[in-house]
Every structure is written in C-alpha cells, then in structure tokens.
Amino acid sequence: MTSSDRSAPVRLADARALLFDLDGVLTPTADVHMRAWSRLFTPYLAAHGVAPYTEQDYFAYIDGKPRYDGVRSLLDARGIELPQGTPDDAPDQDTVCGLGNRKNAEFTAELTEHGVEPYPGSLRFLVAAIDAGLSVAVVSSSANAKSVLRTAGILERFPVVIDGLVAREDGLAGKPAPDTYLDAASRFGLTAAECVVVEDATSGVAAGRNGSFGLVVGVDRGAGADALRQNGADVVVTDLADLIAELPEPAGPAEPAEPAVPTT
C-alpha cells in the first residue's frame, strides 16, 4: 500500500487513542540504542574486514525493528552470513541471536550508566493527551521498554505496553508489519481508524500506514522528514509539543445538577 492508497487522515482531535513508539519518541533512548549498536558492530565489522559501521546504518537497517531483525538486516547489507541461533544463545556466540543478545547487554550497561528522561515536549504532549481523555499505549520493538519507561518515571501512565517480549510471546510480527499496533488498538476495543500511531522510525510509520491507522505522526529525530513521509507519515514534527493545540479540549468539570423542585 502506498500513501496515495490511504483515505484522508483523521484529525488528531477526532482520535480516541494514541499509540506511541518509545525510543526516539517519548525518550531519547534511541541515543542509548545507537551507542549500544555501535559498541557491538564497530569492532565486529572491523574484524570481518567489511565497510565500517556508521550512524546511517542504524537508520537504514536497524531503527524500529526487533533486535534480531536489525542484526540480520545489517549483516545482510555487509554480505555476512550467520546462523539464526535461538534467543537463549550466549552473547559470545557467533549467531544472529548471540549478537542480538550481546547488543542487549551493551544497552543495559549504557542505560544503567547514563539513565534516561522523557523528552520535555513529548511529556507535555502525553500529559495533555491524557487530560483530554485519550487512551495511550506504548508499542515498542524493544524488550527493554518497561525498564526504560520505569527509569524515565512514566511507566504508570500507560495501561497498555506492547514490547518485544509481548510480541515474541504472542507471535506478533515486528514493524513494518502493523501487528503490534493493531494488538494495542484491540486492547482498547478500538479500530485502527480510531487510533493515531506516533513514530520516529521509517519502519514504524510504515507499520502505521500498513495497518490503515487513522493518522500516522512522524517525529523527526534523524530519519529525515522526507523519508518519514515517503514511508507513511501524514504529519511530521520535530517536537510533539507542536501538536498540543490539535488535541481535543480537556473535559471540563460536570455541570452542577439542577436543584430538585420540592413537591407539596
């Protein structure tokens, strides 16, 4: 499906739920992930005598995808063939899963050392959305989503979190397939058309497009506005706070009841 195949996107004010990616949308953990991937692939690719790892590799082959898919995509781009292995592989095993588990260890070390806080504009947008009565969920490919949300102090704001662990347990295909976002919508009892996908990765906005969601918001943290639009974003911003004015008006206090008229 191309963007021209979609019906006109809904207004943000008409949506009933916001489905947020995590890394690069709510928290700058994309930076943590990028450093962890670099710590994994810089020495690994050098040892194999292929083109060195660059930041662009992250956006082209890894960003937004489940971890093992990101490993496989990057290795394919360098012509390196490895067995898939299993999720139980040790981090020092030379398999796709082993490398993915090594990256996860690097991510945990980075998060423990540096911590993480929400983007100020994203936090303001989130609070305004909740105040306006919208349901909110996190849909992330990361297996570390809950620990990141907890470290950032916002886990309790999300009644629904669909992360890499949930996807694996429930057999949900990763982005750019729309399955994880559709699962989040279903947990609110809503259709895709009633929900907004908020993403910073090309694979994530493609998931929103592929699922025919009512609106796909791209947050440009480095992927590029043009790339986000080409992959399915209806709207692209650099700060979610720019969209607060587009949210529904917060529900005001209930009107006081009319006093009962005494009867005689």
Scanning 48-178, the segments in alpha helix (DSSP H) are 55-57, 67-77, 96-114, 120-131, 145-152, 164-170
Let me know: does 216 contact 9? Beta carbons within 8 Å. Answer: yes
Strand order from edge to edge, sheet including 235-237: 160-162, 135-139, 17-20, 195-199, 215-219, 235-237
Residues contacting 96, CB < 8 A, separation 6+: 68, 71, 72, 75, 82, 83, 84, 85
Tell me the C-alpha distance between 264 and 262, whole Å. 7
**Residue 259, number of CB atoms within 10 A of its CB:** 6
**Residue 9, token pair as written in the block:** 């996107």
DSSP secondary-structure letter at 58? Answer: I
Active-site position among 5, 14, 21, 183: 21
Tell me the C-alpha distance between 32 and 29, whole Å. 5
Scanning 171-262, the segments in alpha helix (DSSP H) are 179-187, 202-210, 225-231
Active-site position among 5, 14, 23, 200: 23
Angle (deg, nearest 10), helices 96-114 and 145-152: 10
**Residue 21: active-site member:** yes
**Residue 179: active-site member:** no
Let me know: does 171 contact 31? Beta carbons within 8 Å. Answer: no
**Residues annotated as catalytic (active site), given as ranges:** 21, 23
